[in-house]
């Protein structure tokens, strides 16, 4: 199993944006030094739930200042990006990082309507924009004299520069919040990013993913490769004891969840607009499903349950809400020294 840090830093006070951004760079560099496989970046606007806001700019900074860790998006909201500009930016970062870039794309947030309002985009167009943009980016990376006449973009260009470092183009992956979206990826023979789900739902979806790929004619080698490139999201905190982990993490986790919902609630009260009405308990808001928390031994047991399901890697948020940087950094160090080695191949 592969492990990654989802850099999703909250800045609850606009006056502390610079401090949180600086600390997030330090967190990324720590993960690079400790040999973690991946960093994932988010994209959210106008509310402080992701302090650096723009994953493209932040990825460029990380590409230039890290040595070995891979850098991916979980995800870039493609409804808010021009696909040719995005293709150029991705090609540049792919060159700067020498092929360490993973282009993770999604339609856009399913919850924060103000992201769309701020960019003047109709959220009802988000999925169609994603599909057209993804097609355009691949063509821009791989063809010359591109002409495109689509629903959202009409353009022509001789040759996109710089050419990608990775041939034929940077690795691409798509986020799938729903089972239907996951099935689309299975039929296309592509890996995917899964949002926070219960272990039961994670198992059901991974079993269905494999089954659908087989029914779509893919061989076992291809299925195994795609499963290995599929990642699922959890929050995490590791301390020396279970009691210490709960003391440091639980309030921070609850504050994080409340902060992520606050602007949504404010916009609804002021405008009466809501992208998605949640009914019943949601896994990402429930400690028992969303947070792996405890001593190294306890966290190893929790990860072993997910590993047994069969996924490629875990997208892990280490710094929870208002948690101080050093507290999160200590959790990362404990994880990399006492948890991650338990899931790596044993030397012969």
Give residue 348's pLDDT band: very low, low, confident or very high (50, 70, 90).
low
Average pLDDT over residues 149-158: 98
Percent helix, percent strand, percent coil in the chain, to nearest 5? 50, 15, 30
What separation in angstroms does the CA of 176 have from each of 106, 180, 181, 267?
8, 8, 5, 26
Average pLDDT over residues 282-310: 97
Mean pLDDT, the chain, integer: 97
Q: Per the structure block, which two tokens stand in for 238? A: 């590791």
pTM as predicted: 0.97
User: 199-215 and 296-309 helices cross at what angle (nearest 10)?
Assistant: 30
Q: Per the structure block, which two tokens stand in for 317? A: 């948020």
Are residues 71 and 97 in contact, defined by beta-carbon separation less than 8 angstroms?
yes
Tell whether the model's pLDDT for residue 144 goes beyond 70.
yes
Return the DSSP state at 108. Answer: -
CA distance 246 to 144: 56
β-pairing verdict for 146-149 and 154-157: antiparallel
Give residue 197's pLDDT band: very low, low, confident or very high (50, 70, 90).
very high
Q: What is the pLDDT of residues 202-250, one digit of tens each?
A: 999 999 999 999 999 999 999 999 999 999 999 999 999 999 999 999 9
Q: Per the structure block, which two tokens stand in for 322? A: 């208002």
β-pairing verdict for 146-149 and 101-106: unpaired
- Residues 6+ positions from 348 with CB-CB distance below 8 Å: none
Q: Which residue has the tokens 């520069």?
A: 161
Domain ranges of the chain: 2-343
Instruction: Give the CATH class of 2-343.
Output: alpha beta
Output the CA torsion sign for 161, 165, 166, 168. positive
Average pLDDT over residues 154-170: 98
Give residue 345's pLDDT band: very low, low, confident or very high (50, 70, 90).
confident
The pLDDT score that the predictor gives to residue 278 is 75
């Amino acid at each position: 199993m592969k492990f990654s840090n989802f850099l999703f830093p909250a800045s609850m006070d606009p006056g502390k944006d610079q401090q949180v951004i600086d600390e997030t760079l330090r967190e990324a560099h720590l993960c690079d030094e400790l040999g973690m496989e991946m960093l994932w970046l988010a994209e959210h606007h106008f509310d402080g739930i992701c302090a650096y806001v723009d994953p493209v700019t932040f990825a460029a900074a990380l590409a230039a200042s890290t040595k070995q860790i891979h850098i991916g998006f979980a995800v870039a909201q493609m409804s808010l990006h021009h696909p040719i500009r995005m293709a150029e930016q991705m090609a540049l970062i792919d060159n700067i990082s020498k092929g360490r870039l993973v282009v993770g794309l999604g339609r856009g947030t399913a919850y924060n309507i103000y992201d769309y309002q701020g960019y003047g985009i109709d959220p009802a167009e988000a999925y169609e924009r994603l599909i057209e943009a993804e097609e355009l980016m691949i063509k821009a990376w791989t063809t010359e004299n591109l002409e495109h006449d689509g629903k959202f973009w009409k353009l022509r260009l001789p040759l996109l520069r710089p050419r990608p470092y990775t041939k034929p183009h940077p690795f691409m992956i798509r986020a799938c919040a729903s089972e239907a979206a996951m099935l689309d990826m299975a039929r296309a023979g592509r890996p995917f990013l899964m949002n926070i789900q219960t272990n039961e739902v994670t198992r059901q979806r991974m079993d269905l993913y494999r089954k659908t790929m087989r029914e779509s004619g893919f061989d076992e080698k291809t299925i195994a490769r795609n499963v290995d490139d599929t990642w699922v999201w959890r929050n995490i905190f590791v301390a020396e004891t279970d009691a210490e982990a709960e003391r440091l993490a639980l309030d921070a986790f609850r504050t994080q969840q409340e902060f992520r919902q606050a602007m949504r609630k404010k916009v609804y009260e002021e405008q009466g607009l809501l992208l998605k009405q949640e009914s019943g308990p949601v896994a990402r808001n429930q400690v028992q499903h969303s947070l792996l928390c405890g001593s190294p031994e306890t966290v190893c047991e929790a990860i072993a349950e997910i590993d047994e399901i069969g996924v490629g890697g875990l997208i892990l948020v280490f710094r929870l809400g208002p948690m101080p940087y050093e507290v999160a950094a200590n959790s990362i160090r404990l994880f990399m020294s006492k948890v991650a080695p338990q899931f790596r191949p044993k030397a012969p």
